[in-house]
Amino acid sequence: MTFFSKDNVKHFEVPGDDGKIDTLALLEAARGVVEMVSAFGKAFSPVKSDINGNIEKLQKKYEMNKELFITINAMLDDELENKSTDLAKVGGLWLTRGLNFLRTFMQILIKEYREGSKEESMKHIINAAYEATLKKYHGFIVKKVFSGVSGFAPYRKDYLLKMALGKEGQEEQVIKDMEAYLDTMSPVIDAMSQLYKDKGLDTDEKV
In the predicted model, is pLDDT for residue 150 greater than 90?
no
pLDDT (0 to 100) of residue 79: 97
- Residue 207 placed within a domain: no
d(CA 79, CA 65): 13
- Residue 15 placed within a domain: no
Question: 29: pLDDT confidence band, cut at 50, 70 and 90?
Answer: very high
- Write out the residue range of the structural domain in which residue 37 sits: 23-197
In the predicted model, is pLDDT for residue 42 greater than 90?
no
Mean pLDDT of the chain: 95
- Residue 128 placed within a domain: yes
In the predicted model, is pLDDT for residue 158 greater than 90?
yes
What percent of the chain has a predicted confidence (pLDDT) above 90? 85
- Residue 161 placed within a domain: yes
> CATH no. for residue 99?
1.10.3520.10
* Residue 78 neighbours by CB distance under 10 Å: 18
How many separate domains does the chain show?
1
What percent of the chain has a predicted confidence (pLDDT) above 70? 100
In the predicted model, is pLDDT for residue 149 greater than 90?
no
Q: What is the pTM of this model?
A: 0.96
Give the CA distances from residue 86 to residues 37, 75, 94, 109, in Å, rounded to whole numbers and listed in that order.
Answer: 26, 9, 12, 35
